[in-house]
């Protein structure tokens, strides 16, 4: 298929291991996805065993690399589970595998889930964060940092209400380090750049999908890594959040989902332009 002929703004029903092969080379600006976690979601992709997880992902990773444009990005949201008191290592193995396949591990963003799943155990606290790996094909990739700047107002407001020790220490070190002066430069500024920690609550509204990530998560990465008209791909679309957000931001989208019930749900959500149906 020629790139120029490629259809966009569509949801494809099927196994991404097959569907991806039908896409042309270098046709996607951003991949944002959250694959089924090991040993979970038993009915789609057969509930991949942790020991086979990264091997299962290899052909997918290769296809994703092929369809991504040279200056594009691949955002992978994942978190290993605890089992018998230990964290699984399949996610770490996956990073090493992706690197061997030629992906560059650019960054690891932390999604801090403020409303994480409740529960209590003798030697474990609640898991309230997930990994968002950022992989690229090249050192130089597209990044529009200004698109995700955050108002300094919120930050400053929080600081005023809840000052921390180092705020005062910084003032003391004003004369010596110059750091204090830099902080002074921030005063009066309207917007600042964010960090690599994202504070987003999980989705609690019922979208009939057990693993939907919040719209703010793909939104942040789509704004950061694409501009209007760019193509966003999610090979594990689920209930369609990535496509929905891409559409609302005037990006083109391609979504692939293996379960027909989720395909229908995603199409319904896209039609209504509503997160919740």
Binding site for DNA (CB under 7 A): 34-37, 40-41, 77-78, 81-85, 114-115, 117-124, 126-127, 139-140, 152-153, 155-156, 158, 162, 164-166, 170, 173-182, 185-186, 189, 192-193, 201-206, 210-213, 236, 275-276
CB of 15 to a copy of itself, least distance (A): 25
CB of 89 to DNA, least distance (A): 14
CB of 218 to a copy of itself, least distance (A): 16
- Residue 31, beta-bridge partner list: 74, 233
Q: Is 71 helix (H, G, I), strand (E, B) or coil?
A: strand
Measured between alpha carbons, how far is 145 from 54 in angstroms, rounded to an integer?
31
Q: Which of a copy of itself, DNA, none sits in contact with 40, Cβ below 5 to 8 A by type?
A: DNA
CB of 4 to a copy of itself, least distance (A): 29
CB 3 within 8 A of CB 27: yes
Please state at what angle helix 241-248 crosses helix 260-272, rounded to 10 degrees: 20
Measured between alpha carbons, how far is 136 from 134 in angstroms, rounded to an integer?
7
Name the residue nearer to a copy of itself (CB basis): 35 or 214.
214
Name the nearest CA neighbour of 264 among 207, 222, 215, 216: 207
Residues that bind a copy of itself in the complex, under the rule CB under 8 A: 82, 84-87, 89, 92-93, 95-96, 99, 104-108, 110, 112, 114-118, 120, 122-129, 139-141, 143, 145, 164-167, 169-170, 173, 176-177, 179, 182-183, 186, 193-197, 201-206, 210
Angle CA 19–24–29, to nearest 5: 95
Name the residue nearer to DNA (CB basis): 78 or 245.
78
Measured between alpha carbons, how far is 222 from 227 in angstroms, rounded to an integer?
8
């Amino acid at each position: 298929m020629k790139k120029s002929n490629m259809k966009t703004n569509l949801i494809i029903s099927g196994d991404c291991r097959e569907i991806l092969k039908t896409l042309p080379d270098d046709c996607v600006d951003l991949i944002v996805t959250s694959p089924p976690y090991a040993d979970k979601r038993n009915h789609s992709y057969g509930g991949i065993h942790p020991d086979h997880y990264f091997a299962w992902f290899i052909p997918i990773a290769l296809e994703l690399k092929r369809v991504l444009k040279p200056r594009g990005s691949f955002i992978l949201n994942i978190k290993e589970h605890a089992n018998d008191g230990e964290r699984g290592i399949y996610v770490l193995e996956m990073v090493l595998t992706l690197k061997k396949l030629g992906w560059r591990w650019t960054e690891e963003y932390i999604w801090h889930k403020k409303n994480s799943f409740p529960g209590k155990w003798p030697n474990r606290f609640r898991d309230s964060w997930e990994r968002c790996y950022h992989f690229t094909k090249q050192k130089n990739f597209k990044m529009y940092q200004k698109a995700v700047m955050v108002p300094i107002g919120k930050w400053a407001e929080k600081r005023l209400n809840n000052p921390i020790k180092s705020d005062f220490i910084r003032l003391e070190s004003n004369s010596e380090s110059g750091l204090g002066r830099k902080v002074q430069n921030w005063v009066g500024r309207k917007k600042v750049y964010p960090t690599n920690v994202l504070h987003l609550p999980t989705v609690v509204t019922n979208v009939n999908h057990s693993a939907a990530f919040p719209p703010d998560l793909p939104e942040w990465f789509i704004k950061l890594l694409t501009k209007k008209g760019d193509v966003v791909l999610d090979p594990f679309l689920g209930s369609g959040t990535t496509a929905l957000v891409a559409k609302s931001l005037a990006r083109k989208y391609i979504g692939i989902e293996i379960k027909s019930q989720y395909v229908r749900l995603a199409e319904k959500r896209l039609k209504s332009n509503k997160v919740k149906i």
